[in-house]
Amino acid sequence: MRASFVFSEVSTGLRRNVTMTVAMILTTAISLVMFGIGLMVVKAVDLTKDNYLDELEVAVFLTDEISKKDVSCTQQPCASLKQDLELNPAVDTVVYRDQDEAYEVFKKAFKNEPTMLELASPEAIPASLQVRLKSPEQSAAIVKGFAERQGVSLIHDGGETVDRLVDSLRVLRNVTFVGSLVLLLAALLLIANMIQISAYTRRTEVGIMRLVGATRWYTQLPFLLEAMVAGAIGAVLAITGLLSMQVLLPSGFANQLENVVRFPGTFYTAFVISPILLLTAMLISSLVGYVTLRLYVRH
Amino acid sequence: MIRLENVTKLYKTSTRPALENVSVDVGKGEFVFVIGPSGSGKSTFLRLLLREEVPTKGKLYVSNYDVAKLPRRRVPRLRQTIGCVFQDFRLLTNKTVFENVAFALEVIGKPAHTIRKVVPEVLELVGLDGKADRMPRELSGGEQQRVAIARAFVNRPLMLLADEPTGNLDPDTSQDIMLLLERINRTGTTVLMATHDQSIVDSMRRRVVELDFGRVIRDDARGVYGYDH
A204–B92 C-beta distance less than 8 A: yes
Task: For residue A291, tell me if it sits in a domain.
Answer: yes
Interface test with A, best of B46, B74, B93, B107 (most A CBs within 10 A): B107
State whether A211 and B50 contact (CB < 8 Å): yes
What is the pLDDT, as a whole number, of residue B80? Answer: 94
A71 and A138 both lie in a single domain = yes
Q: Is A175 contained in some domain?
A: yes
Nearest to A208 among B75, B82, B103 (CB): B103
pLDDT class of A97 with cuts at 50, 70, 90: confident
Residue A281, number of CB atoms within 10 A of its CB? 29
Sheet holding B31-35, edge to edge: B82-86, B159-163, B190-195, B31-35, B207-212, B215-220
Chain segment B8-46, per-residue pLDDT in tens:
999 988 888 999 999 999 999 999 999 999 889 999 999
pLDDT at B67: 93
β pairing state of B159-163 and B82-86: parallel
CA-nearest residue to A12 within chain B is: B94
pLDDT interval class at A258 (50, 70, 90): low
pLDDT digit string, tens, across residues A159-177: 777 778 888 888 888 888 8
pLDDT in tens, B191-201: 999 998 889 99
CB contact under 8 A, A212 and B78: no
Clarify whether residues A191 and A278 are in a common domain: yes
Chain A residues contacting B via beta carbons under 8 Å: 1-2, 5, 204-205, 207-216, 218-219, 299
Q: Nearest CA to CA, how far is A216 from chain B (Å)?
A: 8
A57 within a domain of the structure (yes/no): no
**What CATH code is carried by the domain that includes residue A102?**
3.30.70.3040
Optimal mutation site among B106, B115, B153, interface A, most CBs of chain A within 10 A: B106
- Do A25 and A92 belong to one domain? no
What rounded mean pLDDT belongs to chain B?
Answer: 93
Q: Which of A274, A215, A237 is nearest to B74 (CA)?
A: A215
Is residue A299 scored above 60 in pLDDT? no
Which residue of chain B has the CA closest to A207? B90
Chain B hits for A3, Cβ within 8 Å: none
Higher pLDDT, B227 or A275: A275
Number of domains in chain A: 2
Q: Are residues A185 and A253 in the same domain?
A: yes
Chain B residues touching residue A1 (CB < 8 angstroms): 109
Last residue of a domain, one of A150, A171, A201: A150
pLDDT digits (tens, 9 = 90+) for A56-85: 778 888 888 777 777 778 888 888 888 888
CA B135 to each of CA B94, B96, B98: distance values in angstroms, whole numbers, following the listed order = 7, 5, 9
pLDDT of residue B229: 44
For A1, counting Cβ atoms within 10 Å of its Cβ (0-12 exposed, 13-18 middle, 19+ buried), the class is: exposed
Q: Is the residue at A273 inside a domain?
A: yes
Q: Is residue A59 part of a domain?
A: no
- Answer whether residue B202 shows pLDDT above 80: yes
User: Would you say residue B196 lies in a domain?
Assistant: yes
**Full residue range of the structural domain in which residue B6 is found:** 1-81+191-229
Question: For the segment B138-188, what is each residue's pLDDT rounded down to a tens digit?
Answer: 999 999 999 999 999 999 999 999 999 999 999 999 999 999 999 999 999
> Which of B78, B104, B106 is nearest residue A2 as measured by Cβ atoms?
B106
CATH code, domain with B47: 3.40.50.300
Q: Are residues A173 and A201 in the same domain?
A: yes
Nearest CA in chain A to B53: A299
Under a CB-based contact definition with an 8 Å cutoff, are residues B192 and B26 in contact?
A: yes
What's the number of domains chain B is made of?
1
Cβ-defined contact of A210 to B79 (cutoff 8 Å)? yes
Same domain (yes/no): A92, A226: no
Number of H helices, E strands in chain B: 7, 10
Question: Looking at the structure, do residues A210 and A137 belong to the same domain, yes or no?
Answer: no
Q: Are residues A221 and A272 in the same domain?
A: yes
Overall average pLDDT of the B58-77 stretch: 92
Burial of A51 (0-12, 13-18, 19+ CB in 10 A): middle
Nearest to A213 among B80, B90, B103 (CB): B80
What ipTM was predicted for this assembly?
0.87
- Assess if residue B215 is contained within a domain: yes
Residue window 63-92, chain B: list those with CB within 8 Å of chain A.
72-73, 75-84, 90, 92
Q: Is the Cβ pair B109, A218 closer than 8 Å?
A: yes
Dihedral (CA of A295, A298, B3, B6) sign: positive
**Containing structural domain, residue A291:** 3-52+163-296
Indicate whether A143 and A181 sit together in one domain. Answer: no
Q: Phi and psi (nearest 5°) for A106?
A: -60, -45
**pLDDT for the residue numbered A254:** 59
Domain stops at, among A122, A150, A178: A150
Q: What is the mean pLDDT of residues A189-206?
A: 85
Q: Residue A220's closest chain B neighbor by CA?
A: B107
Pair A106, A253 in one domain: no
Q: Is residue A24, in this structure, part of any structural domain at all? A: yes
Whether A291 and A177 map to the same domain: the answer is yes
Q: Would you say residue B18 lies in a domain?
A: yes
pLDDT at A1: 57
Task: Give the containing element (helix H, strand E) for B186.
Answer: helix B171-186
Contact B104 A299 (CB under 8 A): no
Both A85 and A185 in one domain: the answer is: no
Q: What are phi and psi of A154, to 5 degrees?
A: -160, 145
Residues of chain A with C-beta less than 8 angstroms from the C-beta of B103: 205, 208
- Chain segment A133-148, per-residue pLDDT in tens: 877 777 777 788 887 8
Q: Is residue B94 part of a domain?
A: no
